[in-house]
């Protein structure tokens, strides 16, 4: 194997794959990235056995071939090379060392044979549909903050992607919850996605995907089966195992009869919550909302620091109500609301509250109050 | 084989399986008999770890020849007045011990009766029993009291014999049993001999029970315990708790040194152990155990001692009340005792502060063996850093005599000593701050010595107490769950949790019964964030089953408080001004439990002037 590639495109390509590689591995080959060169392009593959990303980039390939080298070391080297450098990579004759040179810098890297590199078997993927990058971005961004990090309820450690029906229209839905709050975003079901099984995409896959979307403005092809999902970008393919579990019946916890409706300016609200919560030292950062006719008073109390209150004008007319929330949860939701107006629907101080986005009808958030 | 009654010998051997587990059980049963016989002096001889000989001699009431013949029969006892099993005033009552022991060994028992007026009978008798076979009564020549010799224990039950541990181990268990009994009976003299050396000897105590008990505890647990414990004396509704509780800074790595007595009977009871853990909950790290000797006296009718063959466990009519009494008595005593840390800490510091070569090395290594927690966490405690600190503190006190100590220039004296030269400050328990060493230790001068304060540990404790206070006053904020969690448990476990819903709700955990053997959790303490609810509930249920109380939740909340306190407190390495140091000292005096951090390490060490003078050969 022998090839030359411009430092910038090499770095970008490695950047896409290297974060999949865990810092510490019990299987040595998992620390490596697979380099495959053929026909004017080179592809880099990294995997942690649950997730594999292949990124392909154009290169001047003099001799095709393949090997594996330590991913983080290679990435660090390339990162530190000067901008615009031409990087030459070659595998020595007995396949034991990779030489890398750029200008006057020369590196020799130990490599492991490519045959040892684990290949993720994709199996049969019976469903296949296309989704615009902006749509996928929306599904991810508006739900990922609610993904649980608590390992015992592993089935909440991802985004639940499935087909469902809203008002007689078939929708593709993404749902995430950590048991305290829930986010649900939907869009019209793309062609070919009818009848897809409900799947849970793991948190790590979600964050790797998100990085790739940032640099692409294209159509992404999604293929899936019961156990695996594949996202095909123009130059990259992400293949991931799915979380093997049953996502809870979340429809049950989305309230339908909440009759107390509050409309408030999203930015005013978020800023006020942020300011008021400064006072609470406690980890839970509770903020109390007091509602009266067309008035919302936010307050926080800390036995050490004192108190904070802020009054903002709002549209409300359903009688007095006092309800407490974790301010971080409120800010997370406010961050994802695009519209100028955020719409809250309450039942009482102990029941789930619905938050809606005036600019995005397909997004819905449920927040559980705190007793303070 | 057709149905039949077992021969008496087999019945006794079966009973022996329960009562006579090892030589220590024999010693315990025989010594208890001696105590019940009103002895003033009890001597135990054990050879071969109790395998070859156990002899117990007392000077009690003794027995007549007829009684002697009867005493090795099953269910023969003189101790159950009015045949009332509910009202038990003696240590024994079942009449099982002697026949059980006799059925598995070669037993010789000799006795000379003295009646109620102390009149000694003219004749003494002796009886031998071999593996349950009685010999004839023989006349003997004996002083007042009873002497029992057990030879070749377990020769009749080879299986038991095979499972005996090394001689030393068996001897250790036996001496521990005698120790516990000796603590409960300071009016009786005890000795234990291993055939060559006397391993335990305590004299009968003085008439004043309280003084005698204190002296006895010091004799048995050690002088350190006397200096590093506080007296407990509390009573409530006919329950009376007395004894001594060790300071948190004087803790041990296992719970072996927790001596508990119910109506004078040594027990190892889970309710009591749990209560002690509760009382020390935020004063000690989880792997440290306090040293305590507690005596609980209550109406014999409200405790059932007939639940364990060796009577090591008891059952209380109202275990909640017993636990409440113990927890509040210990907490209260510590709050009243004010600022104290173990003298062993300052002793060790002094020991390591000899001029030239560090003579205290042995002691130090012993310290680090005994207190692994300190060396891990505190770094500077009992390590060379500490030694330096101690040395430097002499400089301002013993002026002109500092050669050889090479005081390090890093010792940062206060820029304006005049500012804090407040004559009144010296009279505070923690004195007036004189300076800071290594930006970590505050040195202050008291009326009769110096105090070295670990600024981080001390401040951490102050912040912790504040955070905890706030938590208690304002109640625990609860996050309501969007997806209530159903936790599957044993039916018994679930019932126990449901019984305590109010108590758990106060700490922020709201749950309710969910069918048979499950609970559903609806609200969790917001402080815990996104937590493993199932794990938490299971742990609580296990704890309830084991200790009949649930400390786990409170402990977890306290742990969060303590992490917050750690982040919110002054670190080591931060320079403090004189005013800041004095403010720290004054606040420590005003805060309960400021003598140790939440892991049980001392926050300050006090060195008395006369100890320092000793170092310089002035005394």
Q: Which pLDDT tens digit goes with each residue over A222-276? A: 999 999 999 999 889 999 999 999 999 999 889 988 999 999 999 999 999 999 9
Residue in chain A closest to B475 (alpha carbons) equals A372
Of B465, B522, B526, B534, which to mutate for an interface test with A (greatest number of A Cβ within 10 Å)?
Answer: B526
User: Is the Cβ pair A371, B474 closer than 8 Å?
Assistant: no
Alpha-carbon span B243 to B276, nearest angstrom: 13
Inform me whether the C-beta atom of residue B481 falls under 8 Å from chain A C-beta atoms: yes
Q: Does residue B83 have a pLDDT over 70?
A: no
Inform me whether the C-beta atom of residue B293 falls under 8 Å from chain A C-beta atoms: no
Per-residue b/e over B520-543, b at no fewer than 16 CB within 10 Å? bbbbbbbbbbebebbebbbbbbeb
Q: For residue A3, what pLDDT is reported?
A: 94
The number of residues making up chain B comes to: 619
User: Is the Cβ pair B526, A152 closer than 8 Å?
Assistant: no
Give chain A positions within 8 Å (CB) of B469. 303
Q: How far is CA B527 from CA A286, B468, B537, B549, B566, in A?
A: 10, 12, 16, 22, 16
User: What are the pLDDT digits (tens) for A75-130?
Assistant: 999 999 999 899 999 998 888 899 999 989 999 999 999 999 998 887 889 999 99
Which residues partner with B151 through β-bridges? B53, B106
Give chain A positions within 8 Å (CB) of B538. none
CATH code of the domain made up of B8-202: 3.30.565.10
Listed residue (B540, B509, B561, B88) closest to B300, CA to CA:
B88
Q: How far is CA A27 from CA A48, A49, B449, in A?
A: 10, 11, 61
What tokens were used for A203? 């948190």
Residue in chain B closest to A325 (alpha carbons) equals B479
Chain A nearest-CA distance from B555, in A, is 17
Give chain A positions within 8 Å (CB) of B568. 281
Alpha-carbon span B80 to B93, nearest angstrom: 6
Q: Are B612 and B397 in contact (CB under 8 A)?
A: yes
Report the first-to-last Cα separation within chain B, whole angstroms.
84
Q: For residue B374, what pLDDT is reported?
A: 35
Give chain B positions within 8 Å (CB) of A182. 482
Q: For residue B353, what pLDDT is reported?
A: 58
**DSSP output for B374-404:** HHHHTSSSSSHHHHHHHHHHHTTTSTT--TT
**DSSP output for A266-303:** HHHHHHHHHHHHTT--STT-EEEEEEETTEEEEEEEET
Q: For residue B402, what pLDDT is reported?
A: 38
Residue in chain B closest to A281 (alpha carbons) equals B564
Alpha-carbon span A305 to A278, nearest angstrom: 10
Listed residue (A182, A178, A179, A183) closest to A148, CA to CA:
A178
Phi and psi at residue B551, to the nearest 5°? -90, -20
Alpha-carbon span B59 to B489, nearest angstrom: 55
Interface list for A 16-75 with B (CB within 8 A)? none
Least trusted range by pLDDT, from A115-124, A251-260, B13-22, B544-553: B544-553
Per-residue b/e over B494-505, b at no fewer than 16 CB within 10 Å? bbbbeebeeebb
**DSSP output for B273-322:** HHHHHHHTTTTS-TT-B--EEEEEE--GGGEE-TTSTT----EETTHHHH
Better-scored residue on pLDDT, A158 or B470 = A158
Alpha-carbon span A102 to A10, nearest angstrom: 12
Give the containing element (helix H, strand E) for B328. helix B319-337
What tokens were used for A127? 């469903």
Q: Are A332 and A348 in contact (CB under 8 A)?
A: no
Better-scored residue on pLDDT, B202 or B255 = B202
Alpha-carbon span B173 to B192, nearest angstrom: 12
Q: How far is CA B84 from CA A284, B78, B81, B96, in A?
A: 58, 12, 6, 17
Alpha-carbon span A314 to A59, nearest angstrom: 58
User: What are the pLDDT digits (tens) for A180-218?
Assistant: 999 999 999 999 888 899 999 999 999 999 988 877 678
Phi and psi at residue B566, to the nearest 5°? -60, -40
| Residue of A150, A301, A368 lying closest to B480 (CB–CB) | A368
Q: Are B336 and B329 in contact (CB under 8 A)?
A: no
Q: For residue B81, what pLDDT is reported?
A: 66
| A166 — pLDDT class (breaks 50, 70, 90) | confident
Distance of CA A265 to the CA centre of its chain: 27
Give chain B positions within 8 Å (CB) of A303. 469-470, 473-474
Alpha-carbon span B56 to B24, nearest angstrom: 12
Give chain A positions within 8 Å (CB) of B487. none
Give the containing element (helix H, strand E) for A264. strand A260-265
Q: For residue B419, what pLDDT is reported?
A: 46
Over residues B531-545, mean pLDDT: 81
User: What are the pLDDT digits (tens) for B336-375?
Assistant: 776 666 666 666 666 665 554 333 333 333 333 333 333 3
Give chain A positions within 8 Å (CB) of B527. 282-284
Q: How far is CA B358 from CA B286, B362, B390, in A?
A: 33, 9, 13
Nearest-10 Cα torsion for B258, B261, B267, B270:
-70
Give chain B positions within 8 Å (CB) of A366. 482
Residue in chain A closest to B536 (alpha carbons) equals A152
CB pairs under 8 A between A and B: 71
What does pLDDT average to over chain B?
77
Q: For residue B366, what pLDDT is reported?
A: 37
Over residues B475-502, mean pLDDT: 84
Inform me whether the C-beta atom of residue A131 falls under 8 Å from chain B C-beta atoms: no
| Residue of A151, A152, A180 lying closest to B482 (CB–CB) | A180
User: Is the Cβ pair A148, B534 closer than 8 Å?
Assistant: no
Inform me whether the C-beta atom of residue B535 falls under 8 Å from chain A C-beta atoms: yes
CATH code of the domain made up of B222-337: 3.30.230.10
Listed residue (A273, A280, A276) closest to B467, CA to CA:
A280
User: What are the pLDDT digits (tens) for A134-153?
Assistant: 999 999 999 999 999 888 88
| A158 — pLDDT class (breaks 50, 70, 90) | very high
What tokens were used for B603? 């926050």
Over residues A48-71, mean pLDDT: 93
Q: Does residue B78 have a pLDDT over 90?
A: no
Interface list for A 269-308 with B (CB within 8 A)? 281-284, 286, 301, 303-304
Q: In what order do the strands lie in the sheet with B265-267?
A: B229-236, B239-246, B292-297, B258-262, B265-267
Q: How far is CA B146 from CA B19, B39, B57, B190, B319, in A?
A: 21, 9, 6, 15, 38
| Residue of B470, B482, B530 lying closest to A366 (CB–CB) | B482
| Residue of A150, A178, A282 lying closest to B532 (CB–CB) | A150
Inform me whether the C-beta atom of residue B472 falls under 8 Å from chain A C-beta atoms: no
User: What are the pLDDT digits (tens) for B84-138?
Assistant: 666 676 777 777 788 888 888 899 999 998 877 777 878 888 999 888 888 888 8
Domain range list for chain B: 8-202, 222-337, 463-567
Q: Are A129 and A192 in contact (CB under 8 A)?
A: yes
Q: Give the ranges where chain A is alpha helix by DSSP (H).
A: 7-18, 71-80, 133-141, 203-214, 266-277, 327-336
Residue in chain A closest to B474 (alpha carbons) equals A303
User: Is the Cβ pair A248, B530 closer than 8 Å?
Assistant: no
Alpha-carbon span A360 to A358, nearest angstrom: 6
Listed residue (A179, A164, A175) closest to A139, CA to CA:
A175
Name the E strands within B156-264.
189-193, 198-202, 229-236, 239-246, 258-262
Q: Are B46 and B54 in contact (CB under 8 A)?
A: yes
B449 contacts: CB under 8 Å, gap ≥ 6: B606, B607, B608, B609, B611, B612
Return the DSSP state at A19.
T
User: Is the Cβ pair B482, A151 closer than 8 Å?
Assistant: no
- What chain A holds in terms of domains, given with CATH numbers, is 2-116 (3.10.150.10), 127-252 (3.10.150.10), 255-367 (3.10.150.10)
Listed residue (B28, B32, B31, B10) closest to B20, CA to CA:
B28
Give chain B positions within 8 Å (CB) of A301. 474
Interface list for A 205-264 with B (CB within 8 A)? 248, 253
User: Is the Cβ pair A283, B479 closer than 8 Å?
Assistant: no
Inform me whether the C-beta atom of residue A350 falls under 8 Å from chain B C-beta atoms: yes
Give chain A positions within 8 Å (CB) of B534. 152
CATH topology of domain B463-567: Ribosomal Protein S8; Chain: A, domain 1 (3.30.1370)
What tokens were used for A334? 């406010």
Residue in chain B closest to A286 (alpha carbons) equals B477
User: What are the pLDDT digits (tens) for B267-290?
Assistant: 888 888 888 888 887 787 777 888
What tokens were used for A29? 């080959």
Chain A nearest-CA distance from B322, in A, is 33
Residue in chain A closest to B510 (alpha carbons) equals A371
Chain B nearest-CA distance from A269, in A, is 21
Listed residue (B41, B32, B49, B138) closest to B90, CA to CA:
B32
Chain A nearest-CA distance from B481, in A, is 5
Q: Are B90 and B162 in contact (CB under 8 A)?
A: no
Q: How far is CA A326 from CA A185, A318, A344, B222, B255, in A?
A: 22, 23, 15, 53, 41
Residue whose token pair is 């054990």: B46
SS3 content of chain A, % helix, strand, coil (to 5): 25, 45, 30
Over residues B563-586, mean pLDDT: 78
User: Is the Cβ pair B477, A371 closer than 8 Å?
Assistant: yes
User: Is the Cβ pair A284, B527 closer than 8 Å?
Assistant: yes
Residue in chain B closest to A369 (alpha carbons) equals B480
User: Is the Cβ pair B470, A179 closer than 8 Å?
Assistant: no
Over residues B175-183, mean pLDDT: 90
Q: For residue A70, what pLDDT is reported?
A: 94
């Amino acid at each position: 194997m022998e090839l030359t590639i411009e430092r910038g495109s090499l770095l970008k390509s490695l950047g896409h794959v290297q974060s999949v590689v865990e810092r510490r591995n019990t299987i040595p080959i998992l620390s490596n990235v697979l380099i495959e060169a053929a026909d004017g392009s080179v592809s880099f593959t990294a995997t942690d056995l649950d997730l594999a990303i292949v990124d392909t980039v154009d290169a001047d390939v003099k001799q095709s071939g393949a090997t594996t080298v330590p991913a983080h070391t290679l990435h660090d080297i390339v990162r530190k090379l000067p901008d615009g450098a031409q990087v030459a990579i070659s595998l020595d004759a007995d396949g034991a060392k990779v030489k890398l040179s750029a200008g006057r810098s020369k590196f020799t890297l130990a490599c492991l044979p490519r045959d040892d590199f684990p290949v993720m078997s994709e199996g049969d993927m019976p469903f296949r549909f296309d989704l615009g990058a902006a749509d996928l971005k929306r599904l991810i961004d508006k739900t990922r903050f609610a993904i649980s990090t608590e390992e015992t309820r592993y089935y909440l450690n991802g985004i639940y992607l499935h087909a469902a029906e809203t008002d007689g229209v078939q929708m593709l839905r993404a749902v995430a919850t950590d048991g305290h709050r829930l986010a649900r975003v939907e869009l019209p079901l793309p062609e070919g996605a009818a009848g897809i099984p409900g799947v849970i995409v793991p948190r790590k896959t979600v964050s790797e995907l998100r990085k790739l979307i940032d640099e692409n403005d294209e159509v992404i092809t999604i293929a899936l089966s019961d156990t695996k999902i594949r996202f095909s970008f123009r130059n990259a393919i992400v293949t991931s195992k799915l979380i093997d579990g049953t996502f809870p019946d979340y429809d049950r916890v989305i309230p339908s009869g909440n009759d107390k409706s509050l409309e408030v300016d999203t930015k005013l609200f978020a800023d006020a919550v942020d300011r008021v919560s400064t006072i609470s030292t406690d980890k839970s950062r509770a903020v109390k909302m007091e509602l009266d006719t067309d008035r919302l008073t936010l307050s926080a109390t800390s036995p050490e620091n004192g108190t904070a209150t802020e009054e903002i004008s709002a549209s409300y007319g359903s009688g007095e109500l006092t309800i407490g929330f974790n301010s971080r949860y409120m800010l997370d939701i406010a961050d994802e609301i695009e519209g100028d107006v955020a719409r809250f629907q309450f039942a009482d101080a102990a029941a789930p509250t619905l938050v809606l986005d005036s600019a995005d009808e397909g997004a819905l958030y449920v927040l559980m109050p705190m007793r303070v | 084989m057709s149905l039949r009654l077992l021969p008496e010998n087999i019945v006794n051997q079966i009973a022996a399986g329960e009562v006579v587990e090892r030589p220590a059980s024999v010693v315990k049963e025989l010594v208890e008999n001696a105590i019940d016989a009103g002895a003033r002096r009890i001597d135990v001889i054990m050879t071969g770890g109790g395998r070859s000989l156990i002899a117990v001699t007392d000077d009690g009431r003794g027995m007549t020849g007829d009684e002697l013949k009867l005493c090795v029969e099953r269910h023969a006892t003189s101790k159950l007045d009015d045949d009332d099993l509910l009202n038990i005033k003696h240590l024994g009552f079942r009449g099982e011990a002697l026949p059980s022991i006799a059925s598995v060994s070669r037993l010789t028992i000799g006795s000379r009766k003295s009646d109620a007026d102390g009149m000694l009978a003219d004749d003494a008798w002796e009886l031998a029993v071999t593996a349950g076979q009685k010999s004839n009564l023989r006349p003997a020549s004996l002083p007042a009291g009873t002497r029992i010799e057990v030879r070749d224990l377990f020769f009749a039950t080879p299986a038991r014999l095979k499972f005996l541990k090394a001689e030393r181990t068996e001897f250790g268990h036996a001496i521990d049993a005698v120790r516990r009994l000796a603590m409960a009976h300071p009016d009786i003299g005890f000795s234990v001999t291993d055939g060559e050396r006397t391993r335990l000897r305590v004299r009968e105590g003085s008439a004043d029970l309280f003084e005698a008990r204190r002296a006895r505890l010091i004799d048995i647990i050690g002088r350190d315990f006397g200096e590093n414990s506080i007296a407990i004396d509390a009573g409530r509704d006919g329950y009376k708790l007395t004894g001594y509780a060790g300071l948190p800074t004087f803790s041990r790595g296992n719970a072996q040194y927790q001596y508990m007595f119910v109506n004078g009977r040594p027990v190892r009871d889970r309710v009591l152990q749990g209560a002690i853990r509760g009382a020390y909950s935020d004063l000690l790290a989880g792997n440290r155990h306090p040293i305590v000797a507690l005596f609980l006296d209550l109406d014999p009718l409200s405790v059932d001692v007939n639940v364990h063959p060796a009577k090591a466990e008891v059952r209380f009519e109202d275990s909640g009340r017993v636990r409440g009494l113990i927890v509040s008595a210990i907490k209260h005593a510590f709050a009243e005792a004010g600022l104290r840390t173990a003298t062993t800490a300052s002793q060790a510091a002094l020991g390591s502060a000899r001029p030239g070569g560090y003579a205290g090395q042995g002691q130090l290594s012993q310290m680090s063996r005994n207190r692994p927690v300190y060396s891990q966490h505190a770094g500077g405690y009992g390590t060379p850093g500490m030694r330096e600190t101690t040395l430097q503190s002499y400089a301002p006190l013993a002026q002109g005599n500092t050669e050889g100590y090479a005081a390090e220039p890093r010792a940062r004296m206060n820029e304006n000593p005049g500012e804090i030269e407040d004559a009144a400050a010296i009279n505070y328990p923690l004195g007036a701050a004189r300076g800071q060493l290594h930006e970590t230790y505050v040195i202050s001068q008291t009326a009769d010595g110096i105090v070295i304060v670990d600024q981080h540990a001390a401040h951490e404790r102050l912040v912790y107490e504040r955070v905890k206070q706030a938590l208690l006053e304002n109640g625990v904020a609860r996050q309501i769950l969007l997806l209530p969690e159903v936790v599957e448990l044993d039916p018994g476990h679930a019932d126990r949790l449901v019984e305590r819903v109010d108590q758990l709700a106060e700490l922020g955990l709201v749950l309710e019964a969910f069918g048979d053997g499950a609970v559903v959790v609806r609200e969790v303490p917001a402080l815990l964030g996104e937590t493993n609810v199932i794990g938490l509930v299971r742990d609580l249920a296990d704890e309830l089953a084991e200790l009949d109380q649930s400390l786990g939740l409170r402990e977890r909340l306290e742990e969060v408080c303590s992490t917050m306190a750690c982040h919110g407190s002054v670190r080591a390495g931060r320079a403090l001004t004189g005013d800041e140091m004095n403010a720290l000292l004054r606040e420590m005096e005003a805060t309960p439990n400021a003598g140790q951090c939440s892991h049980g390490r001392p926050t300050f060490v006090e060195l008395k002037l006369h100890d320092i003078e000793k170092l310089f050969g002035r005394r």
